[in-house]
Amino acid sequence: MYNASSSPAVPLQLNIEGMTCASCVTRVEKAIGKVPGVTRVSVNLGTEKATVTGQPQLGIADIVAAVETAGYRVPARDIQLTIGGMTCAACVNRVEKALAKVPGVNRAQVNLATETAKVTWFGDESGADRLIRAVEDAGYQASLADDAGLKNARSDETRRSDRQRLAVIAGTLLSLPLMVPMLADFAGFHLMLPGGIQFMLATPVQFILGARFYRSGWKALKARAGNMDLLVALGTSAAWGLSVYQWLSARDIAMPHLYFEASSVVITLVLLGKWLESRAKRQTAAAIRALQALRPATARVRRNGIDQDIAASAVNIGDTVVVRAGERIPVDGTILAGDSHIDESMITGESLPVARQPGDKVTGGAINGEGVLLVQTDAIGAETTLARIIRLVENAQAEKAPIQHLVDKVSAVFVPVVLVIALATLAGWWWYSGDIEHSLINAVAVLVIACPCSLGLATPTAIMAGTGIGAKYGILIKDAEALELAHRITTVVFDKTGTLTEGKPRVTHWLPNGIEQQELIQLTASIQRDSEHPLAGAVLDDAKAFSVPLLPVSGFKTLPGRGVSAVIGDRMLVLGSRRVMEDLKLDRTALEQAAADLEQQGNTVSWLAVTGPVPAILGAIGFGDQIKPGAAMAVSRLASMGIASIMLTGDNQGSARAAGDAIGIENVIAEVLPEDKSREVTVLKQQGKVIAMVGDGINDAPALAAADVGIAMSTGTDVAMQAAGITLMRGDPTLVADAIDISRRTYHKIRQNLFWAFIYNLVGIPLAAAGLLNPVVAGAAMAFSSVSVITNALLLKRWRPASRD
- For residues 414, 419, 422 and 428, what is the CA-based torsion angle, rounded to 10 degrees? -110
Determine if the peptide bond prior to 8 is cis (ω within 30°). Answer: no
Measured CA to CA, the distance from residue 182 to residue 559 in angstroms comes to 86
Measured CA to CA, the distance from residue 552 to residue 522 in angstroms comes to 11
Measured CA to CA, the distance from residue 221 to residue 691 in angstroms comes to 47
Contact by Cβ (8 Å): 445, 773: yes
Name, in order, each residue with C-beta under 8 angstroms of 356's C-beta and a sequence gap of 6 or more: 335, 339, 340, 341, 342, 362, 373
- Position 218: which residue type? W
Name, in order, each residue with C-beta under 8 angstroms of 518's C-beta and a sequence gap of 6 or more: 546, 548
Sheet containing strand 644-648, strands side by side: 475-477, 726-728, 709-713, 691-695, 491-495, 644-648, 667-669
Measured CA to CA, the distance from residue 210 to residue 268 in angstroms comes to 8
Measured CA to CA, the distance from residue 773 to residue 269 in angstroms comes to 16
* 495 has catalytic annotation: yes
Contact by Cβ (8 Å): 729, 712: no
Among candidate residues 495, 625, 651, 696, the one labeled active-site is 495
Contact by Cβ (8 Å): 689, 615: no
- Position 495: which residue type? D
Contact by Cβ (8 Å): 132, 144: yes
- Burial profile 591-601: b = 16 or more Cβ within 10 angstroms, e = fewer: beeebeebbee
The distance in angstroms from the start CA to the end CA of the chain is 39
Name, in order, each residue with C-beta under 8 angstroms of 58's C-beta and a sequence gap of 6 or more: 6, 7, 9, 35, 36, 37, 38, 52
Name, in order, each residue with C-beta under 8 angstroms of 607's C-beta and a sequence gap of 6 or more: 575, 576, 577, 578, 580, 581, 588, 591, 595, 617, 619, 620, 621
Name, in order, each residue with C-beta under 8 angstroms of 304's C-beta and a sequence gap of 6 or more: none
- Burial profile 401-418: b = 16 or more Cβ within 10 angstroms, e = fewer: beebeebbebbbebbeeb
Phi-psi region of 35 (alpha: psi -120 to 50; beta: other; left: phi over 0): beta
Cα 494 to the center of its chain, rounded Å: 23
Query: Strand 644-648 vs strand 2-3: parallel, antiparallel, or unpaired?
Result: unpaired
Catalytically active residues, by annotation:
495
